[in-house]
Structure 1
Amino acid sequence: MTLEQFAAQHAWPLAKLLAGLCVSLLLANLLETLNWTRSLARFARPLVRAGHMRDVTGASFTLAFFSGMAANTMLAEAHRDGTLSDRELILSNLFNSLPTYFLHLPTMLLVAGPFIGPAAFVYVGLTLGAAVLRSAGIVAAGRALLPRPPEDCLECRLPERGPTWREALAKSWRRFKRRIVKICLITAPIYAAMAWLNQAGFFAAAERFVGERLAFLDWLSPKAASIVVFGMAAEFTAGLAAAGALLNAGELPVKEVVLALLAGNILSTPVRAFRHQFPYYAGIFRPALAMRLIVHNQAFRAASLVAVGVVYWLAA
């Protein structure tokens, strides 16, 4: 391969990808910092009433759009005070999966977009559908399992203001500098590795490996299974980098890329969630209760992703 061919096929696409990531990540950090989801708070009350949940659950649901840690702290205090039973606490914590998802939606969409283009909207749409399905399921479960609670004031529990533009810009820039270096250090090597492996015949060997060792992934092609492997071995951006390299080269259709990303998400998230969530969950709840909440969260999350993945596989 000549230098001109290398630049046209690999260097220039990678440079455009990294530039897009820089802009997207900075914008996503700003949107998150500005509490862009505040206008969704008005939807909390009808959902809470439909699910026979207490107003402290609704306040936590709304607060979770801004801070998952603050929302869990509110639930923990209500549980310690006897306002919420163990069952109500578990349902309330699971109910917060939708606002917690929305808290990170800008980052997910704006980071995935430069990697996999239009496929990002399909993938993010499916994960959003899974989050909506989880919250709808909790509303139905609460209505079936919980008695109707007394009236209370939801709005008085909520914070009055978000950060100013100056504060939001400063915080976004600090977060951007911390995260962009790590993303670039993962993206560039993964992108280059996928291009080299494709030319070196790695996927021919991977096909035999998948057939002999990874029977549970035999519904994916070897190239798609490699996206799962990269996603599990590193982090979300590694799987996206692998997916982007194969998708841009025309090696895989959108459907297989999306299904592979969903599979990697399901298989890799529980361990990462425990590693990142347990330290602060155990500081808010009792350690045993923290572990129960994480297990319930991850099991429910995996089930919802499997459900939307099966629907997409059958319908697409």
Structure 2
Amino acid sequence: MFFDLSWPVLWHGLLWPLMRLTFFISLGLFVGNLIESLHWTRHAARLADPLARRARLKDVSAASFSMAFFSGITANTMLSEAHAKGTISDRELMLSNLFNSLPTYFLHLPTVFFIAAPFIGSTAAVYVGLTAVAAVLRTVSIVVAGRFLLPPVPEGCVPCRLDEAEAMRDKGSALRKTWRRFLERLPRVLYITAPIYAGFFLLKQAGLFSWLEQFMAGQVGFFSFLPPEALTIVAFHMAAEFTAGLAVAGALIADAGLTQYQIVLALMVGNILSSPMRAFRHQFPYYAGIFKPRMAVRLIACNQTLRAASLILVGGVYALVA
């Protein structure tokens, strides 16, 4: 087992990414606390209130949904703070986090599309469109689940809280409260996130993730409904990264004559198989800094299960009707 712990590897692979992660978590923590202290959550909640009410979610969940269009870390921080204060239960925390699937997806949609378009042209619109439909289905499913799993929200509770919040005008007091809560939470973020991130870095150096990705990529023969050339896209998607799969797809469109239908299905399969491990690898360090580690694992597992189910459903329908 060989560990490359030279300065360039440590800086680019551990120290700089950890500094960036810590900065953005800290920023999200501060902004989330400030929004709550100033009672701006009530105003943000108005934007998503109709949808949240159908899901029987409280105003803080609606505000988190609105905030997730701009910052996933801030949105999760708002939920974590509400859960810590007992405002929302474990079940509502889980559903609220899943409820944010749609804005979280749209936060990254432009990047995904503009990376994919140069490689696969108009096929990118079909692929991104299918993943967008899957994101919408995930949010709709949470709205339906909330109707059965959560108690009704009292009528008029969001407007009345909004009116009551207007009485708070002391911005200086809000800033002091925000700073105090920020200093209380920041050490926990550092104590949990830094060791976990360092552990994942060492596992990567040990080759664990490369071995797992290569092993999973070797199992693509199960998907015999795809031509061999398309299986190459799946393998590269899993063994390397999304861009590598796109590069292979672009080359195969020109050289192997794969159809749009085959390219889209291959990318969907690669997405479904590669995302869970990568999500846990990249999300767990910062999720564990915002939520308790056990809850962080539950949230990531539920997110990935729902995500995979929605992509399988949308991809299956596309395979049947396209």
Deviations 1:142-165 (A, max 9, x none): 0111111231258779xxxxxxxx
| Aligned residue in 2 for 1:119 | 123
| Aligned residue in 2 for 1:132 | 136
| Aligned residue in 2 for 1:177 | none
Spell out the pairing of 1:89-100 with structure 2 (5 A cutoff).
89-100=93-104
Distance 1:215 1:113 in 2: 27
Distance 2:255 2:229 in 1: 12
Structure 1 residue 213, shift from structure 2 partner: 6.1
| Alignment of 1:146 onto 2:147 | no
Of the candidates 82, 97, 102, which is equivalent to residue 78 of structure 1? 82
Q: Could you tell me which runs of 5 or more consecutive residues in structure 2 were left unpaired when the two chains were aligned.
A: 1-43, 167-216
The answer as to whether partners of 2:46 and 2:63 remain within 8 angstroms in 1 is no
Of the candidates 110, 113, 138, which is equivalent to residue 114 of structure 2? 110
Distance 2:286 2:75 in 1: 12
| Aligned residue in 1 for 2:232 | 226
With structure 1 as the length reference, what TM-score do the two structures score? 0.68
Deviations 1:169-208 (A, max 9, x none): xxxxxxxxxxxxxxxxxxxxxxxxxxxxxxxxxxxxxxxx
With structure 2 as the length reference, what TM-score do the two structures score? 0.66
Structure 1 residue 251, shift from structure 2 partner: 2.0
Structure 1 residue 249, shift from structure 2 partner: 2.9
| Aligned residue in 1 for 2:61 | 57
Distance 1:49 1:144 in 2: 13
| Aligned residue in 2 for 1:101 | 105
Distance 2:279 2:301 in 1: 10
Distance 2:125 2:90 in 1: 37
Report the RMSD for the aligned CA atoms in angstroms.
Answer: 2.1
Closer/same/farther in 2, CA of residues 213 and 277 from structure 1, 3 Å limit = closer
The answer as to whether partners of 2:64 and 2:100 remain within 8 angstroms in 1 is yes
Deviations 1:52-87 (A, max 9, x none): 110100000000000000000000000011111111
Structure 1 residue 42, shift from structure 2 partner: 6.5
Distance 1:42 1:227 in 2: 43
| Aligned residue in 2 for 1:261 | 267
The one-letter amino acid paired with 2:267 is L
Structure 1 residue 110, shift from structure 2 partner: 1.1
Of the candidates 42, 46, 49, which is equivalent to residue 45 of structure 1? 49
| Aligned residue in 2 for 1:217 | 223
Q: Could you tell me which runs of 5 or more consecutive residues in structure 1 were left unpaired when the two chains were aligned.
A: 1-39, 158-209
Closer/same/farther in 2, CA of residues 276 and 304 from structure 1, 3 Å limit = same
| Aligned residue in 2 for 1:243 | 249
Closer/same/farther in 2, CA of residues 42 and 219 from structure 1, 3 Å limit = farther
Distance 2:253 2:94 in 1: 40
Distance 1:219 1:132 in 2: 27
Of the candidates 263, 269, 280, which is equivalent to residue 286 of structure 2? 280
Closer/same/farther in 2, CA of residues 294 and 109 from structure 1, 3 Å limit = same
Structure 1 residue 219, shift from structure 2 partner: 1.1
Q: How high is the sequence identity, in percent, across the aligned residues?
A: 62
Distance 2:104 2:253 in 1: 29
The one-letter amino acid paired with 1:290 is A
Structure 1 residue 250, shift from structure 2 partner: 5.0
Number of residue pairs matched by the alignment: 224
* SS at 2:70 equivalent: coil
Closer/same/farther in 2, CA of residues 240 and 41 from structure 1, 3 Å limit = farther
* SS at 2:153 equivalent: coil
